[in-house]
Structure 1
């Protein structure tokens, strides 16, 4: 079981591995990476697991790291394999917590892959309904959730708007409708022991996300993908009160850095107890880490 070091000050619940450390870097930045960088007004960084470990170790933080398997929708292989993420995270177990990803259209085959990856060390699985082109409550995906629940792992769902494809022709083929967090409510009902995280402020469905997290005991919200200064008032209010034990610090690195996120978070005026819960304690409890 992963232990949290004495000096760890935060756990970033949402970071992306965008490049393999086992192959040569691409000669050019992809169109999608350039579009994401333009949308978030940042550099088009493509971190490896080693890069994430270096960045977060220097800040006395841990990070949850993953890639996204959207090959059914795009026809493109993920930039890095699940096995590489898990194996390299094991080399940096003081800092990197590996999540896996599977094609939600893969049915029983994807469910078997979940079991294999969980046995290898994946602590959870990332889904991006908009870029993977599926509704989370599609019954064809249920064998995958069943495998995640049986493994005691976490299901992390992108929710709301997305920077992926933003500003490109036809939005890069990405349909925003899949990101409504209310589609996750059925999953929380039908898999009552499955721990679920709704990623990001869920614009334009923030009230739906808050309702699901308030109603379902195993549904959490990670606060990644937006600078805190842009958080909607209702999200801030619930984060400081009724959902203070279910909010998780997250950046969506590399598009937002921890430094920027934390700087803007300070401006929200949370008291120290709530800040510690959001930055560290809630993630420690959800991930089942030791101290």
Structure 2
């Protein structure tokens, strides 16, 4: 990892993937590739490629996630575990499960945490076309509470051409009421419902927002204002790598004009506290 400046705090990326070829080649990401101009690789990407991208952006650790949808494993939990094993000081595992099979999902969450050492579980509502208040999610929340790991999800509009309604942040209000002890990390800022996301995070002690899928230049003014005021403990840095490289995500960081405390909390302090890393 390249040497950080004396004033630059540690950087932890809370939303990344080390993609498998079937993940990055899946047609659901075609719309994202049109925006990012990403070229689909033809061979599996080695873990050192991801580490090099982290080094270029001065990212010390990345939380890399599995991707599971009903009937589809784009990145399995065991694959994530194998990636982490190749760079255990740089990569942290986040598991995923198929919510359409609740008991199997609960058992898999326990395996992810207790055997694979993962630090959270991520499920994206749009992959199942269900809001996070659907009953199929509730066993997942209970298992995360039991194991004291965050539940990670996406809020805001959906880049892939799937309905965005299930990403409304207000759904998490009811989840947090039903599971007040559950740590919820809501990724992708919540645009175009950013104010709604901030309202839910402000209301509930254990609801947080991450900035993945957005470069600093594209942060909505509402989230910047929140970071500078009462949201300093509530916002975590993320990239959505490989769709956005860490260096690109952070290249305008100074434009946020965060004081040293808020910058350190945003870039790594909040992640360390929420994920226990």
For the criterion TM > 0.5, the same-fold answer is yes
**Equivalent pair of 1:159/1:179 in contact (CA under 8 Å):** yes
> C-alpha deviations, 1:28-54, integer Å up to 9, x for none?
944334432112334446755553234
**Equivalent pair of 2:9/2:267 in contact (CA under 8 Å):** no
Q: Structure 2 regions of 5+ residues with no counterpart?
A: 1-7
**Equivalent pair of 2:157/2:167 in contact (CA under 8 Å):** yes
Give distance in 2, aligned partners of 1:223 and 1:177.
19
Aligned mate of 2:103, from 92, 108, 112: 108
The match for 1:239 is 227
TM-score (norm 1): 0.84
The match for 2:73 is 78
Aligned mate of 2:248, from 260, 270, 276: 260
Deviation for aligned residue 1:190:
1.3
Change (3 A) 1:123 1:233: same
Q: CA RMSD in A?
A: 2.2
> C-alpha deviations, 1:75-117, integer Å up to 9, x for none?
4x32331012123313312100100000122212211111111
The match for 1:155 is 151
**Equivalent pair of 1:115/1:151 in contact (CA under 8 Å):** yes
Deviation for aligned residue 1:251:
0.6
Residue 203 of structure 1: SS of its match in structure 2? coil
Which aligned pairs between 1:173-184 and structure 2 lie closer than 5 A?
174-184=162-172
> C-alpha deviations, 1:115-149, integer Å up to 9, x for none?
11111211101111112211101123211111111
The match for 1:65 is 64
Deviation for aligned residue 1:151:
0.9
Residue 55 of structure 1: SS of its match in structure 2? helix
Q: Structure 1 regions of 5+ residues with no counterpart?
A: 1-6, 20-24, 165-170
The match for 1:168 is none
Aligned residues: 266
TM-score (norm 2): 0.88
Give distance in 2, aligned partners of 1:33 and 1:47.
17
Give distance in 2, aligned partners of 1:135 and 1:34.
23
Give distance in 1, aligned partners of 2:59 and 2:221.
30
Residue 102 of structure 2: SS of its match in structure 1? helix
